Amino acid sequence: MALRLRSSFLLLLLLSASLSSNAQNIAEDEGVLSKKEYARFLGISAGPTYQVFHDELISGMRYEKVGGAVAISNTKINDVKFTELNFQGSYLNMGRKSEELLKATVQQLKATMDYRHTYKLALLDENYFDVRAGMLFSTLFCHRNAKHLPNTGDIYEYAIALGLTGKIAKQQTFRGRQGYVILDLNMPLFANMSRPGYLNHSTELDPESTTIKRIFANNRFTSFGRFFRFNSRFHILYPIKNGNKLRFTYQWDYYRMKGDGDIKVFSAEHTFLITFLFNY
């Protein structure tokens, strides 16, 4: 009987300790850690975007549009490493400001994938700042369809790149909860890219041409000379219960690409995203 009471008492102590620990985790927004002591978050994002491009293959005029963008991400962080895999996409019917009778529009599908792998640097006061730097692997794909230009208005371009990334985070208290203000910068250095070789006029393409052939027809390895992209993001990270978080992001993404004959495209976007980060 005494042994049974002792066992029950120990079980009650363990249960109480477990509940106390769980309540502390919720109160301090620590969340769930993996077996390797990583905090992991699955992020789902959506928000408005304003995009502009000037593609010499289509027109000498600038096209622009306000629309929506979505993203999904997976992040892992501990005291040393921070990794993030982020997919983002948008589909906009871009228009141009023109006095011409023809109100030409261009359908644009844009998708990016960015993988960031960084390590903590011993810079600034580590009690308030978290500074990390590392490598960036990114892909960019864009399809523009200008229906007023038969055949040659169907444009595919891509870039697969390696580069550098860095981020700095500062602790910030929001209504008694410890959050962060974060700035990250990302820049590819070397890329494999492709742009079409045809100009913006009505003509017949090779009847044996396929979408895959057109995408990879002029691929080459290059650096800043033919492909340049700069991505910057400003985040406010707000903790909620059970380790989950809300993230408010402003992103500026710009790229420039040259095809055959130095036919260029310039593209920029201003995007605001609200992200729910699910701690798992």
| pLDDT of 89 | 98
Q: In this predicted model, what pLDDT tens digit does every residue of 77-98 receive, in sequence order?
A: 999 999 999 999 999 999 987 6
Contacts (Cβ under 8 Å, ≥6 apart) of 93: 65, 67, 105, 106, 107, 108
Collapse the DSSP code of 263 into the 3-class scheme (helix H, G, I; strand E, B; otherwise coil) and give the result. coil
Going by the DSSP 8-state scheme, the letter that residue 206 receives in this structure is P
Residue 238's φ and ψ, nearest 5 degrees, are -115, 120
In whole angstroms, what is the distance from residue 89 CA to residue 72 CA?
9
Lookup: tokens for 177: 């909860």
Q: Is 269 left (phi over 0), alpha (psi -120 to 50) or beta?
A: beta
Mean pLDDT of 205-219: 65
Q: Are residues 124 and 218 in the same domain?
A: yes
Tell how far CA 277 is from the center of its chain.
Answer: 14
| pLDDT of 169 | 95
How many residues can be counted in the chain? 280
Q: Are residues 120 and 177 in the same domain?
A: yes
Q: Are residues 129 and 147 in the same domain?
A: yes
In whole angstroms, what is the distance from residue 14 CA to residue 20 CA?
10
Task: Print the domain residue range for 190.
Answer: 35-279
Amino acid present at 66: V
pTM of the entire predicted model: 0.80
* Domain count for the chain: 2
With tokens 């009847």, the residue in question is 207
Q: In this predicted model, what pLDDT tens digit does every residue of 116-172 receive, in sequence order?
A: 999 999 887 777 789 999 999 999 999 999 888 776 678 889 999 999 999 999 988
Q: Are residues 133 and 180 in the same domain?
A: yes
With tokens 């993988």, the residue in question is 115
